[in-house]
């Protein structure tokens, strides 16, 4: 019996992450990425992470129910002001370590949810 979830053809699946890279649907990406169900883009993000860093996600906010923000190996909540600013602009962001964000993205995407993952490398 096959118990793997059915994934739509062309959907972006996070297969692996390590040593500053991600393998997504067979393609290796160096550094931070944003994974949407239909595409993966390199993500240029500043060390002090502000609203402007989320421009690619804000541009597609109406298409997303949730954004999973993978913060690397550990979790540290971004400043309240950033969280509030993103919410005010229509982004529901969940903050977690990158591994949890990768796993959660795959599950939600396979369920057909409108999700994206913004991932800092480990």
- 3-state class (DSSP) for residue 99: helix
CATH number at residue 91: 3.40.1230.10
pLDDT in tens, 36-52: 999 999 999 998 899 99
**Residue 3 falls inside a structural domain:** no
What is the DSSP pairing of strand 39-42 with strand 33-36?
antiparallel
7 is a domain residue: no
Assigned domain for 5 exists: no
Per the structure, the count of domains in the chain is: 1
Residue 63 lies in a domain: yes
Residue 67 lies in a domain: yes
Q: Which residues contact 62 (CB under 8 A, 6 or more apart)?
A: 90
- Given a cut of 60, whether residue 122 has pLDDT beyond it is yes
Domain containing residue 27: 14-119
Q: Which residues touch 87 (CB under 8 Å, ≥6 apart)?
A: 93
Per-residue pLDDT tens digits for 47-101: 889 999 999 999 999 999 999 999 999 877 888 999 999 999 999 999 999 999 9
What integer pLDDT is reported at residue 6 of this predicted model? 65
């Amino acid at each position: 019996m096959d118990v793997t979830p059915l994934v739509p053809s062309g959907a972006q699946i996070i297969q692996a992450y390590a040593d500053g890279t991600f393998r997504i649907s067979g393609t290796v990406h160096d550094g931070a990425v944003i994974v949407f169900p239909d595409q993966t883009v390199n993500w240029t993000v500043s060390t002090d992470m502000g609203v402007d860093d989320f421009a690619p996600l804000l541009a597609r906010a109406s298409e997303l129910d949730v954004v999973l923000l993978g913060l690397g190996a550990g979790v540290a909540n971004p400043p309240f002001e950033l969280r509030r600013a993103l919410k005010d602009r229509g982004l529901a962001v969940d903050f977690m370590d990158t591994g949890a964000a990768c796993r959660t993205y795959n599950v939600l995407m396979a369920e057909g949810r409108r999700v994206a993952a913004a991932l800092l490398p480990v």
